[in-house]
Copies of this chain bind each other. A is one copy, B any other.
Amino acid sequence: MDKVKGFRDIFPEDMEVRERVFSESDRWAIAFGFKRIDFPSVEFLDLYKLKSGEELVGQSFSFKDKNGRDITLIPEATPTVSRMLASRKELPKPVKWYSIGKFWRYEDPQSGRQREFYQFNADIFGPNSAEADAEVIMLATKILDGLGLESKYEMRVNSRKLMQKLLENLGVKEPVRAFQIIDRFRKITVDDFVEEISPLLAGSSDVAMLVDILSKPVNPDKLSKLSSSRKDLFSGAEDEIARISRTVRDCSSVTKSRVLIDFSVIRGLTYYTGIVFEAFDAMGESRSILGGGRYDGLMSLLSGESIPAVGFAMGDVTLELTMRKNNTWNVPVKKPSIYLCKAPDAEDPELPGIAMQIRYRGISCSTDLYSRSLASQLRDASRAGCGYALIRGAREIKERKISVKNLGSGNQRSIGLDSLNEFLDIIVSLVV
């Protein structure tokens, strides 16, 4: 029996790392004062029309429900989270929500793309400020840093408002169309880009100027110098430049990873209105590890009330590729585990209680489920990577004792059942 194409079976060795990713995301979201929410995996397709952009609606995993209405497995979180906020207008702002869930897109599966994937999302509703922009980028940064990627990635930041001004200064009449083309700048050849963008610009010198500025990420401390030297491009964007500089400065102060201005970062979704950002592998992979931005117009589309918002999303597929490349797709600290062996020939009514005594201490404890020989049980214990086997044979049962075998050294000694907790104290202290 096959599974459906583009969907993944996740076995324990991979799930363990994925859980580390979730718990690191969780830990930092809570540290930044975000609260976790969850939402339906299915929404009416209409929620995404006009709001997410054509590409996403075309890729949605949609179908008709039994009443003939178009519904879809959710392709992204933002419209749903906005819908949820619209139903709780009374909540004091800022509202800071995060979520960890599954999303679906009907794309052809390939490296870095699956039809089903996990995504972490975090959003701040209420404030429209450089501090709020910085907070979501800092959260993104600290999650990646916490996963062992510090200085292995670059956070590339831009502003749609800034880009709008820049395109205006270049005489572009269709900024939305230009954004779509710029969004593909790093995915297509320069020649193809020039061919696509040229009809929107006055002349080839403007095209060359745009290609030049898109090609070169700028260190944040150089931004104000660049903007004053290129007034032809940046005139009228002074406030936005000051704001983005402030955001980038704050973010840079909390991480060793580089935070850059990159004018080619524009994001595919149509609803962004201010800052946009993406994290990339510092070694130059083209697909972003995470991305987000400010979307101050979406809430009024959904609820009639204007509420500024900024957020980001991080999927597990590109993240896994990046972590594997950097040898951080692993679980650094192994939890302790004990195998509790029993004599195959002796009744031991105390055994379940002893196993529970171990488990109550947060130690993983397995017992034999087959009535196998002691030798097989010890082989099982070693194969499972247990540090110790505890043995309850006929003699131990009679003497109210338990034998402790160090599976590394092979040493074995016998302790009274009353001393078990002291032994467990040591096991627990060894791994903290």
Contacts and interface: CB of A to CB of B under 8 A. Distances in A.
20 contacts: A1-B47, A2-B44, A3-B43, A10-B38, A11-B88, A12-B36, A15-B36, A28-B359, A31-B359, A31-B360, A31-B365, A40-B116, A41-B116, A94-B369, A131-B369, A131-B371, A134-B352, A142-B359, A254-B352, A254-B353
Most buried by B among A4, A96, A253: A4
A40 B7 contact: yes
Contacts of A84: 9, 11
A10 B39 contact: yes
Contact of A42 (B83, B116, B349, B370): B116
Nearest to A47: B1
Task: Name the residue among A63, A73, A132 with the largest chain B CB count within 10 angstroms.
Answer: A63
Contacts of A19: 36
Interface in A23-41: 27-28, 30-33, 35-41
Contacts of A10: 37-39
Interface in A359-384: 359-360, 362-371, 380, 383-384
Contacts of A142: 356, 359
Given A131-B369, A134-B352, A38 B65 contact: no
A9 B383 contact: no
Contacts of A131: 367-369, 371
A407 B196 CA distance: 59
A369 B32 CA distance: 12
Given A84-B11, A132-B369, A138-B352, A3 B40 contact: yes
Contacts of A132: 369
A244 to B, nearest CB: 16
A39 B84 CA distance: 27
A94 B43 CA distance: 40
A206 interface: no
A331 to B, nearest CB: 12
B254 A364 contact: no
Determine how many copies of this chain the complex contains: 2
Interface stretch (A121-129, A214-222, A286-294, A320-328): A121-129
Nearest to A114: B40
A271 interface: no
Given A131-B368, A365-B32, A369-B131, A356 B15 contact: no
A135 interface: yes
Contact of A349 (B16, B253, B369): B253
B32 A364 contact: yes
User: Chain B CB within 10 Å — which of A18, A83, A254, A349 has the most?
Assistant: A254
Contacts of A203: none
Contacts of A11: 37, 84, 88
A46 interface: yes
A339 to B, nearest CB: 8
A135 B47 CA distance: 46
Contacts of A127: 369-370
B370 A129 contact: yes
Nearest to A133: B369
A12 B35 contact: yes
A251 B356 CA distance: 11
